[in-house]
Structure 1
């Protein structure tokens, strides 16, 4: 098992030079914090679209929204947040059902989750934002951009897939991805009190090397967050809504995204699947397969992923 001291996240310090070229100067191992937000960020709550969202906000400049995926919360973005805050206003919410946000019975289709985020940005008076999403968060990011294109500056999609686009069922029905169909009262009863054991499947099996996956300190943060009342049920709802998402995305994709889109995927995870899907729904797509890594891009390849996101958004 990884130690939070020996396997910690890397924070990459970047400076712009010349015409905006990004130079990664150094990396420092920093221990994960279970509670404290990065310096310069404030924790807030907002009642929007019938749900109470917890979010962090900091920095100033053009606005960027960071959306986490399943088994994680807004906490996953901590290594990236201070870097983006140098040039952007950074908004980092917990999705409906996750972390410190409320966990209602319904509303876990990705169009509704995106409407939550749009209501949040609107409440902050933000007319246009760039939006970054990993895993479930990328589905929400796409739904945001597709529903509110005039309010979307740029989009970053990170390693998973888009239900309803192309041969999406080739992923959805993979035998090794049984968790997509592991929903209902019996699964809930089986994982109650064993959230950490269940999540180890994701953190270990979807990494190219489990020793370079989600750090131990972060695993504790996430397991505790999802063990809250309603947390696991809400998480299962993200998967349970994939068929509805597929119908919604098939309709939304009839109009291609006009804004620039960056796709980052892991060679040992999604490969080129998401890149090809993005090209089917957007007109301006940059795709990058990060070699030698799996699904947990922020944790497995920060030296590649953080500069790529920062440069694209800058």
Structure 2
């Protein structure tokens, strides 16, 4: 179990949902906010914003299947399966409506959550991830000097090869993780050595590597699950943010294809890892967004 010291307002738990055991951290009171991590990270990527959110909200930070201290099965990594995992967790905890905050590869299943259970989602915050539509991905993977800067998104296709990624990553897990932090952070020091050690604790195992790659190996199923949102966009309020040096305004632009109520934009002086790099800015944006959603909801009832 996690060895990182934890604010005494939070506690660790494990529960069975959708045929897997999920680890999660929870604390606070008030409206629930579910924090959904992405590739190569765990619940711990939210460590810098959880203390501020817990002052006003119930904070739930799970590990997705395949990550951290959750089970690492061989299947169930498509966006809808991951969505069902966390939906069942929220139901077990007894919450009727939640705010979703999702980063990287946690964002596509969070988008489906907002689509599948619109009456149970107060808001969706979508951080630093393309919307998984063929039209968007064809542009991203277009072979050009612009799209292949820093090597392009080479890992999206590399991970589709069976077995080879596990073979090449094994024994080089630290170099693999730090490559992404050094390449896609505006300031790599934002991810401190203690955080890297925590991620390596569960990633640097055969199951940890295989589990982490699962979201990419299920990518075509996730795209197929997302495409219907073009014809049936979500009405849940969305905050879409991209780091200035990575996706920037594109996240908001892409989200507008599948959602009717979108705000957001580019985060200055920030790369891919927004919760690590600009936590104070993210906290400010989230609190303002949540409060605005609450006020609009109250106005609609009067």
How far residue 165 of structure 1 moved from its aligned partner, in angstroms, is 5.7
Aligned residue number for residue 176 of structure 2 = 198
Matched, 1:52 2:21: yes
**What is the distance in 1 between the residues matched to 2:56 and 2:186?**
33
**What is the distance in 2 between the residues matched to 1:60 and 1:272?**
33
**What is the distance in 2 between the residues matched to 1:67 and 1:143?**
13
Greater CA drift, 142-151 or 301-310: 301-310
How far residue 228 of structure 1 moved from its aligned partner, in angstroms, is 3.3
* 1:65-80 correspondence to structure 2 within 5 Å: 65-80=34-49
- Give the TM-score normalised by the residue count of structure 2: 0.89
**What 5-or-longer segments of structure 2 have no aligned partner?**
292-302
Aligned residue number for residue 219 of structure 1 = 196
Aligned residue number for residue 9 of structure 2 = 40
**What is the distance in 1 between the residues matched to 2:30 and 2:187?**
37
Q: CA RMSD in A?
A: 1.6
Aligned residue number for residue 267 of structure 1 = 244
Matched, 1:62 2:39: no
* 1:74-223 correspondence to structure 2 within 5 Å: 74-164=43-133, 166-172=135-141, 174-175=147-148, 176-183=152-159, 184-211=162-189, 213-223=190-200
Secondary structure, aligned partner of 1:305: helix
Secondary structure, aligned partner of 1:131: strand
How far residue 310 of structure 1 moved from its aligned partner, in angstroms, is 2.3
How far residue 34 of structure 1 moved from its aligned partner, in angstroms, is 4.9
- Give the direction of change, closer, same or farther, for the CA distance of 1:172–1:138 in structure 2 (3 Å limit): farther
Secondary structure, aligned partner of 2:74: coil
Secondary structure, aligned partner of 2:113: helix
Matched, 1:254 2:231: yes
**What is the distance in 2 between the residues matched to 1:132 and 1:63?**
11
- Give the TM-score normalised by the residue count of structure 1: 0.85
**What 5-or-longer segments of structure 1 have no aligned partner?**
1-32
**What is the distance in 2 between the residues matched to 1:148 and 1:95?**
19
Count residues with an aligned counterpart: 281
Greater CA drift, 165-174 or 234-243: 165-174
Matched, 1:296 2:251: no
**What is the distance in 2 between the residues matched to 1:303 and 1:313?**
15
How far residue 302 of structure 1 moved from its aligned partner, in angstroms, is 2.1
**What is the distance in 1 between the residues matched to 2:219 and 2:105?**
10
Segments ≥4 residues shifted beyond 3 Å: 172-175
Preserved contact between residue 46 and residue 276 of structure 2 (Cα < 8 Å)? no
